[in-house]
Structure 1
Amino acid sequence: MFDFLADFYLWTKSLHVMSVLAWMAGLFYLPRLFVYHVEGLQKRGVVRESEMEMLFRHQERLLYKAIMQPAMISSWLFGVLLVLTPGVVQWDMIWPWTKAASILGMTWFHFWCGGARLRLAEGVNTLTGRQFRMMNEVPTLFMIVIVLSVILKF
């Protein structure tokens, strides 16, 4: 039924990898912006607080809406196409399941970042810079499981 996808396998795989790279870049950087946002407002420097707040809100919104959202959607789209490509996934092995669980976790983290962005924009954030630093490690853990699953096929 999906045999035609085999003809586009290398293109699909390439587009999937590019999408994932863009998504991961955003997942690594947005929590770091949150750290700067929270801690930067505690330091009153040359830039007035309201200007700094507007700058952070603008950067966070653009990163999330213009880069991370499209990258997540295209990662999922090309990933599903790879799953549907005959012979790509060996469902009797553990690796597709560990990768799938990690992808679901990474997607959860993506939406958690979206919620944190909105809370910061609304001025109702309750997390500290240290807590955002800790959350910044979450996508790394998912990435490690995904890469090891796909490369080692355990």
Structure 2
Amino acid sequence: MTDFLISLYPWTKALHIISVIAWMAGLFYLPRLFVYHVEQADKDQLPSIFEVMERRLLRAIMNPAMIATWVFGLFLVFTPGLVNWSSIWPWTKAAGVLGMTWFHHWLGRRRKDLMNGTNTVSARRYRMMNELPTLLMVVIVFSVVIRF
């Protein structure tokens, strides 16, 4: 099994990067859609357009990209010789990825609130939360590239 993972390493790494890019695009865009949705909530037809966009982004792009990111990331973790578990970087990266996953699920819950008309989050708070994936991305990228 380990020889198999080693031989697939370039493919696994490439697919992991592609998955991360797709997931990050959604994590950046969905909170922005929520801002527009909340700001236009009093208009008649606009919220339903936002609901379609939000649902499709989450279900068709973000969910598969998150799953692929985790799958290919775990393949990389189990590839022999890639991770030195006595270093700090794998743990900071793992914390960042868990934070991203929490944020993804938080967005999913907020989408349901918007669809049910029970949203209590302001447009300003969505704008502030939109910065979280950027901060987590910085932690993850520095962890992997610098490997402290």
Give the letter for the 1:62 counterpart.
Answer: R
CA deviation after TM superposition for structure 1 residue 41, in Å: 2.4
Q: Does 1:112 align with 2:115?
A: no
Q: Describe the SS at the equivalent of 1:87.
A: coil
Give the letter for the 1:56 counterpart.
Answer: F
Deviations 1:3-35 (CA, angstroms, capped at 9, x unpaired): 210001000000000000000000000000000
Distance 1:79 1:118 in 2: 28
Q: Could you say which residue in structure 1 is the equivalent of 2:115?
A: 121
Q: Could you say which residue in structure 1 is the equivalent of 2:130?
A: 136
Q: Does 1:72 align with 2:66?
A: yes
Distance 1:135 1:143 in 2: 14
Runs of 4+ that moved beyond 2 A: none
CA deviation after TM superposition for structure 1 residue 56, in Å: 0.5
CA deviation after TM superposition for structure 1 residue 53, in Å: 1.2
Distance 1:72 1:2 in 2: 24
Q: Could you say which residue in structure 1 is the equivalent of 2:4?
A: 4
CA deviation after TM superposition for structure 1 residue 40, in Å: 1.9
Deviations 1:113-151 (CA, angstroms, capped at 9, x unpaired): 000000000000001110000000010111000000000
Q: Describe the SS at the equivalent of 1:30.
A: helix
- Once superposed, what is the RMSD of the aligned Cα atoms? 0.8
Distance 1:65 1:81 in 2: 23
Q: Could you say which residue in structure 1 is the equivalent of 2:19?
A: 19
CA deviation after TM superposition for structure 1 residue 100, in Å: 0.3
Give the letter for the 2:56 counterpart.
Answer: L
Distance 1:41 1:124 in 2: 12
- Percent of residue pairs identical: 60
Query: Gaps (5+ residues) in structure 2?
Result: none
Q: Describe the SS at the equivalent of 1:50.
A: coil
Q: Describe the SS at the equivalent of 2:111.
A: helix
How many residues end up aligned between the 2 structures? 148
What TM-score results when the alignment is normalised by the length of structure 2? 0.98
Distance 2:32 2:89 in 1: 30
Q: Describe the SS at the equivalent of 1:41.
A: coil
Distance 1:7 1:115 in 2: 39
